[in-house]
Structures are given as C-alpha cells and as structure tokens.
Amino acid sequence: MMSLITDLYAYWISVLLMMVGLYIVIDHNNLFKKLIGLNIFQTSVFILFISMGKVDQGTAPILKEGFETFSNPLPHVLILTAIVVSIATTAVGLALVVSINKYYKTINESEIQAIEREEA
C-alpha cells in the first residue's frame, strides 16, 4: 500500500495539483482567481509530462561528453509548446477580465450575474 504512494509520488503530486486547480476554477467568484486556478491546473499537466520523461539514471537531455544515458527530450519540447499556449491563454483571459471590469465595475462573478438578471 505504501509503495503505491512512494513509487508513484510524481503522479500523486500532479493529480493533487490538478484537483486543486479545478476546484479553484469552479469555486471562486473572483474572475482573476479563476484564471490562477486554470494556471495551476495547466502546471499540473506539465509536471505529469515531464515526470514521465525522466529515464532512470538519466541526466538532462543535453548532449555532452562523458554521459551515456539521457532523459527523453520529447516531453520537454511538448511542454515548452504547452507553456506558451498557457501564457497566451492567460494573457487573453486577463485582457478579458480588465475589459469586464471596465464595463461592469466589478470582477465578482455573482455580482455580474446579479447585474445581468436585474437588466433582464
């Protein structure tokens, strides 16, 4: 039972962060905090990918004399792309939140829904 946790600790951490991120997105009312939760969720996916790329006794995936075993470089490349995607998503989300603040004077989701319900 303990080996289930200690051998696969990377996956446990990744899933824990995934659930924390999803909970923040769902629960918080503040639009900024939702974006931070989304970022935590995406970071957990990066940890999942990178941790599975490590080869036992392998060093960093950079060619150098004296080393024979290297970690798998492909997950690193995939995660570089995914990090850029995550930053672009955060930038678009932040721009949207700033615009919402300008038009609604609040960034609290329940207040915005109350304003919309009053107008309807």
Residues that bind another protein (CB under 8 A): 22, 25, 31, 34, 38, 41-42, 45, 48-49, 52, 60, 62, 74-75, 78, 80-85, 88-89, 91-100, 102-104, 112, 116
Backbone angles phi, psi at 108, to 5 degrees: -100, 125
Q: Which is nearer to another protein, 70 or 104 (CB)?
A: 104
Closest CB to another protein among residues 6, 15: 15
Structure tokens at 88: 């672009």
Smaller CB separation from another protein, 1 or 109: 109
> How far is the first Cα of the chain from the last one, in angstroms, to the nearest whole number?
56
Nearest alpha-carbon partner for 109 in 15, 45, 16, 26: 26
